[in-house]
Amino acid sequence: MNTYAIGDIQGCFASFMRLLERCRFDPVADRLWLVGDLVNRGPRSLETLRFVKELRNSAITVLGNHDLTLLLAAEGFGKRGKGDTFDDILHAPDRDELLFWLRHQRMCHVENGHCLVHAGLLPQWTVADAQALAGEVESALSAPDWRTFLANMWGSEPAVWSDDLTGWPRLRVIVNAMTRMRFCTPIGVMDFHAKGGLDNTPTGHVPWFEAPGRRSADTALVTGHWSALGLKILPNLLALDSGCLWGGPLTAVRLEDRAVFQVSCSDEEIRAW
């Protein structure tokens, strides 16, 4: 069995299909690990959701910030982003089934020395901590009052973790770290403004994966989210968002041997943004 970890798809369904062909992915024998952001900005988010859902146990996906934004939009929370491409999903006959499936996906998945998470982990967290904290958000998303959680989920405060946090602020920090973080201070205060590459690191901050003493450094983290970072492969990091929407490739890495597979994003998908 091969395991192919794939960067942010964001509705680039044609590129996704070509990448699976490049990998010779067999849904009976192989598995996909998807880093989140299945939807938005690309032209075929609906087809992407349907396809991944039908893969069942052949695919593991974690939630990204765009996936969560879709859930917010479906419930009328927050302001729709300029240029979002959610309408095909929101008007689909199987909308409720797809959104139910999406809402029950994971925030974090750990297996065979790898941890799959959309953005990253705060330096204070071990991988075991992250699993437990992800479970708190997953439980909130599947609880009877999940709409109340969504209504209180988004926001940039508090920007730092504390074990004493409770309620919505606690869950908000977990969501922000796992789906939005790029830079933080050495003690884990997150910055949500800087979005460029490493040359845009804010003063006093570091890329989250370079935080000194990061307690998850003993595990290979498989992430996406940071297209300006590009494909970055380190002993303990596989950052896979190579910016398909921005003219870069869509990337897969086979976890067993770290072989890299890439396809170019189609003109249709680049023009869509």
96 within domain boundaries: yes
- Among 42-56, 72-86, 105-119, 168-182, which stretch is predicted with the lowest mean pLDDT? 72-86
226 within domain boundaries: yes
Residue 208 has pLDDT above 80, yes or no: yes
3-state secondary structure of 106: strand
- pLDDT on residue 211: 97
- pLDDT on residue 80: 76
175 within domain boundaries: no
- pLDDT on residue 271: 53
- The CATH number of the domain where 103 resides is what? 3.60.21.10
- Among 54-68, 74-88, 224-238, which stretch is predicted with the lowest mean pLDDT? 74-88
3-state secondary structure of 6: strand
Residue 194 has pLDDT above 80, yes or no: yes
21 within domain boundaries: yes
Read off the pLDDT of residues 244-267 as tens digits, 9 standing for 90 and up.
Answer: 988 999 999 999 999 999 999 877
185 within domain boundaries: no
- pLDDT on residue 268: 76
Q: What is the mean pLDDT of the chain?
A: 95
200 within domain boundaries: no
Residue 182 has pLDDT above 90, yes or no: yes
Q: What pTM value is reported for the model?
A: 0.96
Mean pLDDT, residues 206-232 taken together: 97
Please give the tally of structural domains in the chain.
Answer: 1
Read off the pLDDT of residues 21-70 as tens digits, 9 standing for 90 and up.
Answer: 999 999 999 999 999 999 999 999 999 999 999 999 999 999 999 999 99
Residue 267, domain extent: 3-155+219-272
199 within domain boundaries: no
213 within domain boundaries: no
